[in-house]
Chain A
Amino acid sequence: MRYIKEIALFLGALLFLSPVYIMVVNSFKNRQELYENVMALPQEFSFQYYVGAMEKMDFLNALTNSLIITITATVFVVILSSMTAWMLARSNNWVSKIIFMTFIATMLIPFQTLMMPLVQFMSTISNTLGIPMINTRGGLIYMHVGFNSGMAVFLYHGFVRATIPTSLEEAALIDGANRFTQFWRIVFPMLKPITVTVIILNVIQIWNDFLLPSLVLSDTALRTIPLSTFYFFGEFTIQWNMAMAGLTLTVIPVIIFYLFAQKHIIKGIGEGAVK
């Protein structure tokens, strides 16, 4: 009985993932085979649609863009948010309180409320100050950092308040360390658990984001994976095998990330949601 339950649970979970199966098997089938039976395994594994999809999506380029943008933006979110949150948590004055409340309050604003004026404002900066915010990786990273820092500041702030003892920090100051070394040598290493959560939440959010890059990037060479998927899919909806091969390609990096960081991801998602 117990074994039946074990197997039933496992098979049930597998069945839940059947859309992934449908995507993968049909990425290998030719048109006729696909229309004969969508559920069957392919008769042969030919990678011709993958080769085609990679070329059409400019996949390696999109992967590189996505990696650069996600990693850089996440690093900046971690560095800037942890520094800011620590300073806000440790300086207990009204300025800090107002800044912190503003960070939290703006988490309520849906992206759709900001998108049009944001693009207008960023174009104005590009045109008047000559800082290239629109249609550059740097500009997109800048905006990702702005949108994702509120949540990160909130998580770091709570963690600093709850778990970091001030006595350790003060001891370092007495030993002649300045604020900078005090933070990076003493405080930041102790923030590690929450840093992992912040990294996970940001990587997932920024990697999958479609709307912001679609508004900011127009150059085809700068496209991230969701962007190139969008344009690719618009072109190939009739050729399902090619489309499925393209989608499979985009899911592979996510699965690799999941295999490596599964425990952290599930923990991070839970913590990010409950707080």
Chain B
Amino acid sequence: MANRMTKGWYLFFTLPLLIIFVTVVIIPFLMGIYYSFFDWDGIRANPMVFVGLENYGQLLGDTRFIDSAWVTVKFTILAVITVNIIGVAFALLVTTSLRTVNAARAMLFMPNLIGGLILGYIWQFIFSDAFKIIGEATGFDSVFFNWLLDPDYALYALVFVFTWQMAGYMMIIYITGIQGISNDIIEASVIDGAGYWQRLRKIILPLLMPSFTICLFLTLSFGFKIYDVNLSLTGGGPVNKTELFALHIYNEIFGYGNYGFGQAKAVVFFVIVAAVTLTQVYITKKREVEM
């Protein structure tokens, strides 16, 4: 009787969420793997043709897919570097004893709260028309021209906006790291006559390694999965040159109507993201043991 009571409560507490979770995440995930073995245009009246692993086999021969993968890697590498350099720099600036640090922190973090879609639109105006107008007015048209029309600069524009969005976020994590460094060590280095740069290079940055690991992989994972900013800032253009992975999958499935082929890409996408994240967990855990 007591056992039945406990079981009843167990179900009462967990079952509602489990039903939602299974229907929203688990079943679609399994269905997704199933769909990736078929050739289908998404129209219910049309037949789904089983093709086995053919969709996966075709991936490497698909130049749009390879181009998208390559530009995504390029974007992610650039973004990880800029976001983290600027994030650390911000964190160092706002952990000084100045009185304006709190206001500065709040302002530097703010872009992260505005959704990616809206951020992308604000910057679309700046990179296209505002830049052009400034370029014409000041004559600095080697910098101020419409970045979004040039394939390389359009990618840099994406990196730029992503950095603007994420630097404040990473700053928050680095601040926690910096505040965790014991004052004794800093004071000892001051007494020993170490200058600011020496202290930064020899003490602060090495002690920030745990924060670096977290931020590196967070930016890696966010960068790799970027969608909203991509859609609103460049829309994948000019001529698909900045169509990053997530947008590419969306377009393959819903734009071109290749439901099976697109889903195979989506499954590959999952495998890559999972591999990156699990590596992070592994490294973080290992580091925690060492420390």
Contact = CB atoms under 8 A, between A and B. Distances in A.
Contacts of B137: 37
Contact of A106 (B13, B29, B176, B227): B29
Interface string A247-268: 1001100110110001001100
Interface residues of B, number: 86
A266 B105 contact: yes
Contact of A13 (B26, B104, B123, B278): B104
A145 B20 contact: yes
Contacts of A180: 9, 12
B266 A112 contact: yes
A193 B234 CA distance: 40
Nearest to B177: A274
A203 to B, nearest CB: 10
Contacts of A175: none
A19 B122 contact: yes
Most buried by A among B99, B115, B218, B269: B115
Given A5-B98, A12-B104, A26 B125 contact: yes
- Chain A interface mostly helix, strand, loop or mixed? helix
Interface string A58-90: 000000000000000000000011011011100
Given A145-B20, A208-B115, A6 B100 contact: yes
A22 B277 CA distance: 37
A150 B169 CA distance: 21
B16 interface: yes
B225 interface: yes
B276 to A, nearest CB: 9
Given A243-B125, A251-B114, A273-B169, A13 B228 contact: no
Contacts of B278: 108
Nearest to B247: A112
6 contacts: A2-B98, A9-B98, A26-B130, A112-B250, A121-B23, A250-B118
B24 A19 contact: no
B256 to A, nearest CB: 13
A116 B32 contact: yes
Given A22-B130, A117-B28, A266-B172, A103 B21 contact: yes
A146 B24 contact: yes
B93 A99 contact: no
Contacts of A146: 20-21, 23-25
B60 interface: no
B214 interface: yes
A39 interface: yes
Contacts of B250: 112, 115, 211
Contacts of A208: 114-118, 228
A230 interface: yes
Given A108-B277, A117-B31, A150-B21, A23 B122 contact: yes
